[in-house]
Chain A
Amino acid sequence: MNPLVKWFHRFGSPPTFYRWAGRAQPWLRGAALLFGAVGLYFGLVVAPADYLQGESVRILYIHVPSAWMSLFIYLFVAANAFIALVWRIRISEVLSMAAAPVGAMFTAVTLATGSLWGRPTWGTYWQWDARLTSELVLLFLYVGVIALFHAIEDRRRAARAAGLLALVGVVNLPIIHYSVRWWSTLHQGESVKLFGESSMHESMLWPLLMMALATKLWFFASLASRAQLALLEADSDKSWVRDMLQPSVTQAAPA
């Protein structure tokens, strides 16, 4: 069998995924903490203060990566929901529902840090402009997905229904991203581009990118532990869970 196909099938098996997630999680979290520490040091201590905003610009190093993660995680939820709906792959159902609370928290952090940043720079904690409003709508979309998932009894059905809702709401994502281009808003426009020159100076750009990497690693670490827990719950009557939690006396304990 094609090794890629074999890897794909193996990865979708709950006990294999559980073991892999258990092994990967401490490394992911450690790397996240490391990059986070370095990024925060360079961002909070080494990088220069903004000539207009002064020291308050340093919230950027938490606000912007959280905002990027809130969008990325929603795409992750929607992509896994699509896979779960089309191919009925159980691990995708588990991953999409495990990612949703993490995305909701990143969105909340984005809104909170943005609000704190807005007070000294814009003079107001909140403004109903396009970017802020669409990010708030994203938070409500996350909350709706999580609420629907918890409201339905059958876990697999609940995951697919909440996934369908997430897919319906994915149209909000381009609106958030392009809101600063389509409407005249109070929020700053794009200064960091994926392709081409960014208008941000490299002394601020590198800590920002390092924090972005740190939040991504943190998300995958959180996802791994949440997915592990969800798999244990979902498969609580299966033998692999029983063997893992209570190895029988006639078997050697798993390594």
Chain B
Amino acid sequence: MSTTPWRAFRAVLRRDVGLGMRRPDDALQPLLFALIVTVLFPFALGADSARLAPIAGGVSWVVALLALLLGMDTVYRSDAEDGSLDQLLISGQPLAMLCAARMLAHWLVVGLPLVLTTPLLAALLGMPANTIVVALVSLALGTGVLVAIGHVCAALAVVAKRSVILVPLLVLPLSVPVLIFGAGAVQATLVGLSATAPLLLLGAGLALAIPLAPIACAAALRLNAG
């Protein structure tokens, strides 16, 4: 039974999602981080909901971005260290497919729970209900792009010395447009305007990221580990 790229994609997807489910830490730690940081804001700014509700959209977006960055450095590093990355490189399968599978797995394990807990976090900061729906949609689209960008930067830094700040430093300038449009969608809904334009732009970003990011990620992996 020969392996097609699609079978390889499914194999990597199954492996990474299985690993993620067996180690709930990967999913729970970003969630816990998001919850803790969200809770810090009322402590820092005072419990006045009139002050918290306007910034709730931006805060939940920043918190989601930071929570995603927590586990970004290790997505390829552990494989590079134990040699499985070399196996992926010589497997004969298109490396971009394998990177795409890993991005999807990472989003399913880490990104999706973050998206689904946003309503809770947003409600803690006093976001109104219709805005929470827009925040959910914008995060669902935006976390996809952020995971893609994060993987490309993690692949670029896979042979770099271990550093807490390197991958976040690389990701943050590239993720600024996503943040602007994502938080912009929530802000627009908050003041009563339509959020369609920023959401469509986010969708466009995701549509670009899905084919292009795996190619960039594969190029970075071949460059560093090939």
In whole Å, how far is B64's beta carbon from the nearest beta carbon of chain A? 19
Q: Is the CB of B224 within 8 A of A140?
A: no
A165→B170 contact, CB < 8 A: yes
Contact indicator per residue, chain B 152-178, by CB within 8 Å of chain A (1) or not (0):
110011011101001001101110110
Q: Tell whether A168 is near chain B: CB-to-CB under 8 Å.
A: yes
- Assembled-state Cα–Cα distance A161/B161 (Å): 14
| CB atoms of B156 and A161 under 8 A apart | yes
In the complex, the answer to whether A165 meets B166 with C-beta atoms within 8 Å is no
Q: Counting CB contacts under 8 A, is B108 at the interface?
A: no
Which chain A residues border B153 with CB–CB below 8 Å?
A: 165
Cross-chain contact B174 with A168 (CB below 8 angstroms): yes
- Would you list which residues of chain A between 140 and 161 have a CB under 8 Å from chain B? 140-141, 143-144, 147-148, 151-154, 157, 160-161
- Report how many residues on chain B are interfacial, defined by Cβ distance under 8 Å: 21
**Which residues does chain B contribute within 8 Å of A133, judged by CB atoms?**
176
Interfacial residues of chain A within 115-144, with CB under 8 A of chain B in the complex? 133, 137-138, 140-141, 143-144
Report if A144-B170 is in contact (Cβ < 8 Å); known contacts: A160-B223, A164-B220, A164-B223.
yes
B223 close to A147 (CB less than 8 A): no
Give the chain A neighbours of B166 by CB distance below 8 A.
147-148, 151
The reply on B219 being an interface residue by CB < 8 A is yes
Q: Once bound together, how far apart are the Cα atoms of A140 and B173, in whole Å?
A: 6
Give the complex CA separation of A148 and B224 in angstroms.
12
Given contacts A157-B224, A165-B156, A168-B152, contact A151 B161 (CB under 8 A): yes
Closest B residue to A161 by beta carbon equals B156
Q: Name A's interface SS.
A: helix
A-B interface pairs (CB < 8 A), number: 62
Given the complex of chains A and B, what is the CA–CA distance between A120 and B174 in angstroms?
A: 32
**Could you say which residues of chain B place their CB within 8 Å of the CB of A157?**
159, 223-224
Say whether B216 faces chain A, with CB atoms less than 8 Å apart: yes
Q: Check A152–B159 contact: CB distance below 8 A.
A: yes
Q: Could you tell me the distance between the alpha carbons of A154 and B223 in the complex, rounded to whole angstroms? A: 11
8 Å CB contact of B157 from A138, A141, A151, A154: A151
Q: How far is the CB of B171 from chain A (nearest CB, A)?
A: 9
**Interface presence of A22 (CB below 8 A):** no
Q: Is A172 an interface residue (CB 8 A)?
A: yes
User: Which residues of B, 207-226, contact A by the 8 Å Cβ criterion?
Assistant: 216, 219-220, 223-224
Q: Find out whether the CB atom of A143 lies under 8 angstroms from the CB atom of B169.
A: yes
Give, as a whole number of angstroms, the nearest-CB distance from A166 to chain B.
Answer: 11
* Contact flags B171-198 to A (C-beta < 8 A → 1, else 0): 0111011000000000000000000000
B159 touches A169 (CB 8 A): no
Q: How far is the CA of A141 from the CA of B163 in the complex (A)?
A: 18
Which parts of A170-194 form the interface with B (CB within 8 Å)? 172, 175
- Please report A residues at the B interface, Cβ cutoff 8 Å: 85, 133, 137-138, 140-141, 143-144, 147-148, 151-154, 157, 160-162, 164-165, 168-169, 172, 175
For the complex with contacts A85-B223, A147-B169, A148-B166, 16 further pairs of A-B residues with Cβ separation under 8 Å are: A140-B169, A141-B174, A143-B169, A148-B156, A148-B160, A148-B170, A151-B160, A152-B159, A152-B160, A152-B224, A153-B159, A153-B161, A154-B159, A161-B156, A165-B153, A172-B173
| Shortest beta-carbon contacts, A-B, top 9 | A151-B160, A140-B173, A144-B170, A141-B173, A137-B173, A152-B160, A161-B156, A144-B169, A137-B176
